[in-house]
Chain A
Amino acid sequence: DAGITQSPRHKVTETGTPVTLRCHQTENHRYMYWYRQDPGHGLRLIHYSYGVKDTDKGEVSDGYSVSRSKTEDFLLTLESATSSQTSVYFCAISDLSPETQYFGPGTRLLVL
């Protein structure tokens, strides 16, 4: 597996609280992505980054924000968590575009 870690791996939170998920890579890849995975929907892109401080929205970006201050870190923030954001969140990286994406181990988030 490529050098990608996600933290936390599991989180339970309450509706209305802010949540930040971290993706860390040691591959020095330019592109980083955040996806959510839900039954019946496959993987849906939330936000992506094409460089430090360069980010853009994906198809399901409402309620999420991201930041990338260093090449190796890509943060996903749920400003005010809702039950509909209960999901498994995957980070992915790639060196070129379009090119193979390597996925992190995932974060299971439960919003009560």
Chain B
Amino acid sequence: GENVEQHPSTLSVQEGDSAVIKCTYSDSASNYFPWYKQELGKRPQLIIDIRSNVGEKKDQRIAVTLNKTAKHFSLHITETQPEDSAVYFCAASNLSGNQFYFGTGTSLTVIP
């Protein structure tokens, strides 16, 4: 099956700086890559996603890039704010889409 690796496991940045989280996947058939944010004690919530037919997608301060050849994708958060502090999960889905494989999460702390 698919194997999704996520790095780093923890990340601390100063408010206003950028944060980058990277994921790699193993199954070249994967074609959908969502990112979820989970605040402490809450449910995961989708923040951005990308499909294999595009290389980059942006939504205000958040962007995701995808390199299909290298089988990796990254989350970029610019101008970080304290409310960005949370655990972020990447995921990959295969062609049938019935199974999502999640990374192990990155705990992001934005220091005011």
Contacts and interface: CB of A to CB of B under 8 A. Distances in A.
Interface of A: 1, 31, 33, 35, 40-45, 48, 50, 56, 58-59, 90, 96-106
B104 A97 contact: no
B104 A100 contact: no
Contacts of B34: 100-101
Contacts of A96: 97
B43 interface: yes
B43 A98 contact: no
Interface of B: 1, 6, 31-32, 34, 43-46, 49, 89, 91, 93-94, 96-105
B43 A100 contact: no
Contacts of B6: 42
A101 B98 contact: no
A48 B99 contact: yes
A90 B102 contact: no
Given A35-B102, A42-B102, 16 more contacts: A31-B98, A43-B91, A43-B100, A43-B102, A48-B98, A90-B44, A97-B96, A98-B97, A98-B100, A99-B32, A101-B100, A102-B46, A103-B43, A104-B43, A105-B43, A106-B43
Contacts of B99: 45, 48, 58-59
A24 to B, nearest CB: 15
Closest 7 CB pairs of A and B: A98-B97, A97-B97, A98-B93, A98-B32, A103-B43, A42-B102, A43-B102
12 contacts: A40-B104, A42-B6, A42-B104, A43-B44, A43-B102, A48-B99, A58-B99, A59-B101, A98-B94, A98-B97, A100-B46, A101-B100
B108 to A, nearest CB: 15
Contacts of A58: 99
Contact of A98 (B31, B89, B102): B31
